[in-house]
Structure 1
Amino acid sequence: MASRGLHHVTAIAGPAQRNLNFYTHVLGLRLVKKTVNFDDPGTYHFYFGNESGAPGTILTFFPWEHVAPGRLGIGETQETVFRVPEGAIGWWLQRFVEKGIAHGTPEKRFGETVLPFRDPDGLRLALAGIAGVENEPAGNTGLPADVAIRGFHSVSLLLAEAAPTGAILTDVLGYAEIAREGSLVRYRAGDTAVGGILDIREAGGFLPARMGGGSVHHVAFRAAGDADQAAMVRRLADNHRLAVTEQRDRNYFRSVYFREPGGVLFEIATDDPGFAVDEPAESLGTALKLPAFLEGHRSRIEKVLPALA
């Protein structure tokens, strides 16, 4: 059976340099691709992840210099959670204090210790301490190997109702409901360890979300390839009367998009071809990579993009 779970999460940020510094220097993620928003090439598109940019580790950003802040509300991703070794939460708490990073206090969710925090744009993030994660390769993060991030743990969605979205997760995207805790409903994608969990928090009566800085733009789920993706699209149409966009080539994966019943933008992205398709694995993220249809405009695009140190 094809691997299921999260492929990537894409969010909106403010100044590009600030975004780059936080995710590489503070969190120790690797910049695995520096390109542009294919639909708005005057804006960078940064991809941060593990050493190889494996599905389930990638948090991406559209950084707009003067973006207005978003407002969390119904129909939005509430929080993106990373996996760290179980004993690393204290180390990260001290790091956030030393670096002035906005954070909460550690709390228990489904028996796991979770440390909420925010990035400079207010994006809601958290670290979940997971037993056994210390045995997974940490890669060259610049941080001690015994505390480094090992990909996604989960995302949580803030929705008025869990059931309609849960039906898409279970029938189309390979998840099953595994637990409930208060207003949270937890779904897991088989035995997928990295990015295998999605939580829905039911919260009727809240204001709708307003997209902006610190908002998640969309959540992408894995498809092994084109045939797998097409089968998922058929199930969406046949069983749920949901239409998707045409397939769009994003160079590093091929995608379709749709709005799930709660209003969150979902993407189904193929695992192939991956981020090493246009530059060697050892130098991922070092050069500005453009799709073929924009390459002829490189000089103009480079003049518009903010300079990076």
Structure 2
Amino acid sequence: MSIQTPGIHHVTAIASDPQANVDLYTDVLGLRLVKRTVNFDDTHTYHLYYGDEVGTPGTILTFFPFESGQSGSVGRGQPSATAFVIPEGSVAFWVDRLEAEGLPVAEPTERFGDSVVTFEDRDGQPLELVTGESDIEPWADGPVPAEHAIRGFHGVTLDSLAPDDTGSLLESMGYEPVDEAGERTRYETDGERATVVDVLDRPEGERGRQGTGTVHHVAVRVPDAETQLNWREDLIERGQRVTEQKDRQYFQSIYFREAGGVLFEIATDPPGFTRDESVAGLGSELTLPPWLAEDRETIESQLADIDEPTPTEAER
């Protein structure tokens, strides 16, 4: 069976302080907090979702904020950068905005014909802003002017322990190698957004260590649960150890860790984030799946309060 993903569904990372996380990704980067829930496997911890106005697949960056978590280190065997699309002509705006917030920002560079702004969030997670085109419209009520606003994901970089194996896996999921420069090989799939995966070949690099400031997993898209189960059968036949289908309330998921060390998720596009909140109310309250509803009082008592994001330096 031939399987094909149109691109990345979401990226999930590990943070420390939930309030600082919300402040940065909403007020500074201009993403919308579209869902405030908990890690279904560890209800002591928030699961925060950011994206465009409705959390369209291909725009969603999520976090598990562990307030007492140990710092990680980004390296081989992990995703090593998450990249967003910004419009042409917006590089100077973003460099000024990020520097005003005291974030570590590198000198803009060129990569495969695009301008790239590399920086780190408050926990040291590597992020990139890449000039390009996207079908995503910026969130109209966001704090960043629409002409400069982030328009979903560009892609991710994987610092693989086994680049050839990782590349073969990507090709089995519909990605094709399209360019190469130094230690970096670019793979791209045929979709409308978030179509790029870069694979690094750094045999002398340090191995990464999971913790705050690192990416936990990368999820790619499938249209529905039936297709997902077909993918699962195909991946098992290819030698991958794949979990059972898991209900994540806003999508169905399966997971596997490939030979290069990266944890992949296959996530369905539906049902989406408006199944339990209106568009206007997304992210405004703690939402819980039906199987946790009876535990709401206990769960809420274990979570830190999250206030409305504070104004950025640029807006004061």
TM-score by length of 2: 0.93
CA offsets per residue over residues 154-200 of structure 1, 9 Å max, x none?
100001332111111111x221111111110101111x242110000
| Corresponding residue for residue 221 of structure 2 | 222
| Corresponding residue for residue 230 of structure 2 | 231
TM superposition shift of 1:205 = 2.7
Question: SS of the counterpart of 1:156?
Answer: strand
| Corresponding residue for residue 64 of structure 2 | 62
Long gaps (5+) in structure 2: 308-316
Long gaps (5+) in structure 1: none
| Corresponding residue for residue 96 of structure 2 | 94
Letter in 2 for 1:235: D
- Give the aligned length: 304
TM-score by length of 1: 0.95
Rate the CA distance shift 1:281–1:159 in 2: closer, same or farther, 3 A.
Answer: same
Letter in 2 for 1:62: F
**227-236 or 152-161, larger mean C-alpha shift:** 227-236
Letter in 2 for 1:246: E
| Corresponding residue for residue 147 of structure 1 | 148
CA offsets per residue over residues 226-272 of structure 1, 9 Å max, x none?
1211221122122x211200110000000000001101100000001
**68-77 or 52-61, larger mean C-alpha shift:** 68-77
Rate the CA distance shift 1:210–1:3 in 2: closer, same or farther, 3 A.
Answer: closer
Alpha-carbon distance in 2 for matches of 1:242, 1:2: 17
CA offsets per residue over residues 111-164 of structure 1, 9 Å max, x none?
11000000000010010011x45x852122221100000000010000133211
Question: SS of the counterpart of 2:280?
Answer: helix
CA offsets per residue over residues 4-29 of structure 1, 9 Å max, x none?
11000000000100000000000000
Question: SS of the counterpart of 1:283?
Answer: coil
| Corresponding residue for residue 186 of structure 2 | 186
Counting only pairs closer than 5 Å after superposition, residues 131-210 of structure 1 correspond to structure 2 as: 132-133=133-134, 136-140=136-140, 141-171=142-172, 173-190=173-190, 192-210=191-209
Question: SS of the counterpart of 2:288?
Answer: coil
Question: SS of the counterpart of 1:80?
Answer: strand
- Of 234, 247, 250, the match for 2:248: 250
Indicate conservation of the 8 Å contact 1:161/1:203, yes or no: no
| Corresponding residue for residue 105 of structure 1 | 107
Identity of aligned residues (%): 44
Alpha-carbon distance in 1 for matches of 2:229, 2:170: 16
CA offsets per residue over residues 60-82 of structure 1, 9 Å max, x none?
00001121110112100000000
Question: SS of the counterpart of 2:277?
Answer: coil
Note if 1:119 corresponds to 2:117: no
Indicate conservation of the 8 Å contact 2:4/2:174, yes or no: no
Note if 1:24 corresponds to 2:22: no
Indicate conservation of the 8 Å contact 1:53/1:275, yes or no: yes
Alpha-carbon distance in 2 for matches of 1:187, 1:79: 15
Question: SS of the counterpart of 2:76?
Answer: coil
CA offsets per residue over residues 55-111 of structure 1, 9 Å max, x none?
000000000112111011210000000000011011000111212111111001111
